Amino acid sequence: MMQTLDRDWYGKPCPHAHFEVINTVDWVFRVYVEHPPEQSFLAAPGDYAEGLWEQNVAEWFIVNPLSGRYVECNLAANGAWWMMVFSAPRVRDERRWLCMQADKKTVSTQCVTSSKDWQAELIIPASFLLKLLGGSDWAHNVCFILGQQPRQYISLNTLHAADPDFHRPQDFITRLW
């Protein structure tokens, strides 16, 4: 069942952003956003590309609370995606990520866009996330960045920072389903 976020970082109304995270054999991150998608995209549909946060994007953060290691997954309206492993807030764990490059081909996306809204889905094998994070009692956060001027930053969890900063794994919740 989808959850709805309708307030931005500062408590102002924003386009409704809906999401669900499903944990089966694969992890599925599904979003529906009541906001027009970008007219141009930084990457082709389904491509792996950094910098998606410069446009409308849904973000899913997953942290292993025991190690502090976390994964950031970005999903654009056209199904382009990006993922990185962090060993601490904003500290990339490039070595761990490079060891998993072959597995990233197992990640897939789907999308549907219209002039008024967009839906997208990111499907990640559970075994891939387990290799990246270890453990299994993970905490999560879901965020959105929508619009251009002004941009709206939306977070499921209250993140304890004055300005938008989604890299606060200590503030993530345990369950999303």
* 146 is a domain residue: yes
* 76 is a domain residue: yes
* 126 is a domain residue: yes
Q: Which pLDDT score is estimated for 101?
A: 76
* 164 is a domain residue: yes
* 90 is a domain residue: yes
pLDDT at 177 over 60: no
Distance of CA 82 to the CA centre of its chain: 9
Q: Model's pTM, two decimal places? A: 0.94
* 177 is a domain residue: no
CATH of the domain at 152: 2.60.40.1190
* 176 is a domain residue: no
Q: Which pLDDT score is estimated for 123?
A: 96
List all residues 6 or more positions away from 87 whose beta carbon is below 8 Å from its beta carbon: 68, 69, 93, 96
pLDDT interval class at 34 (50, 70, 90):
very high
Q: Which own/partner pairs from 163-167 qualify as long-range (CB within 8 Å, at least 24 positions apart)?
A: 164/9, 166/59, 166/61, 166/72, 166/141, 167/61, 167/72, 167/86, 167/89, 167/90
Q: Number of folded domains in the chain?
A: 1
* 89 is a domain residue: yes
> Residue 127's domain spans which residues?
3-171
pLDDT at 176 over 70: no
